[in-house]
Structure 1
């Protein structure tokens, strides 16, 4: 729905940032069109726990999704709508009107940031379109003789998501529960990884999950299991954390960079074969958290 107007091009943002429930309403509207069978909001609407039926096991599954990830595309559309209204006013009016109009809009953006700083602390991604509008004004709409506008966003004291929600502990437990079999022995009773190497693997994987990027890896590891099982283990980890609708590219890169067994594999091959488990032996040392995804 088009809420903003040419006279008030940031009206959508003013209404949405007036209270927490408005942000939640947007997420609700998006979730109502999703395949999730149920969902619930947590603290400050910064995260959504979504429940769905796992296609492979038939079990109900809970996972985490950030409100930002749900509504960022919607915000992008609203940003372009606001930008178009700014442009339309400027091509229809004289310089005097344009100068006054642009000054009013930037003051309104700054006032909105000032009034909404507490809400923006939990939803700082709303600053992206607001700063983008000021940048658009400065780069394309200023008339000759006008100085560039500057807004103060430092008044927003961003509260890191993980300082409010104990995601680190939740995700670390998940990482350990899936990878802990590598601290044990394989089917031939060989130690899969030494304790030091296993600890390194846990640390590296926690970094991957927390930062969604590959850590600086000092040296590769060579667990005494097949590359097929290694690769599939990280597919399971991704599925347990996020589902597998869209695999995060950092997981492919991590598997490629982390393990000696991947040195003869192209990244494209790892991506293509990530979920393949047909060639994995159904050995007894493989934990249920992984083997439950095997298709016999």
Structure 2
């Protein structure tokens, strides 16, 4: 279990997260949503032990994560940052092998278990045929699968991902999210991620956490969090929420920003009066 207790996090004198409490339940997919700059990525980095809170604490299985060694934490928790970087000419196999670093032994060298973990991770991500290809020659979706394979080789029960679908087209977004759901359902991985697409977040999450102004505005099942009231509060957008005709999860249809006025933006597809009328009809 991963637990944040009354944490405050900042960069220099700027406080980004304040008095935030959060429990990540084991065995579920939890997704952070919220406006740009609200603290989603900062929260994820704090949970991953990359940022130390100025107040409060983060507990991993009941122990202060910042009082444990990096290697020890890395055996339980893996992080895929927003824009991971691999040096040129590093192959997929070499990248995935890096996931075994926390399990290294001073004198033991590369073990059969290390090799098996790498092969299993490559197979799980359908990368066996690309194992000797440089990472920087892959497509965006293949590259993301290579990074996920590295975290799988790390063999942790907890996987944190910061915007894993950024820069991917719709097909590759669905591919990555399907993989993450399979890792959760079949391999019992606890997954915590940041997503900007609200409808995909609702479709693929067990729990959604709406972050607003550095704290948790609300959290719970998608149908509890994805409401017009919550979207209005954290994004300042009027919307209609209907059942997704495919998944049955909440589907957000944005109408207009609440502060938009006639003539402010000629590129809008709807003027405020039309947006308000549509909103009233939906209600």
**Class of the TM-score when normalised by the shorter of the 2 chains:** under 0.3
Bigger fraction of residues in strand: 2
Q: Which has the larger radius of gyration?
A: 1
Q: TM-score, normalised by structure 1?
A: 0.27
Q: TM-score, normalised by structure 2?
A: 0.27
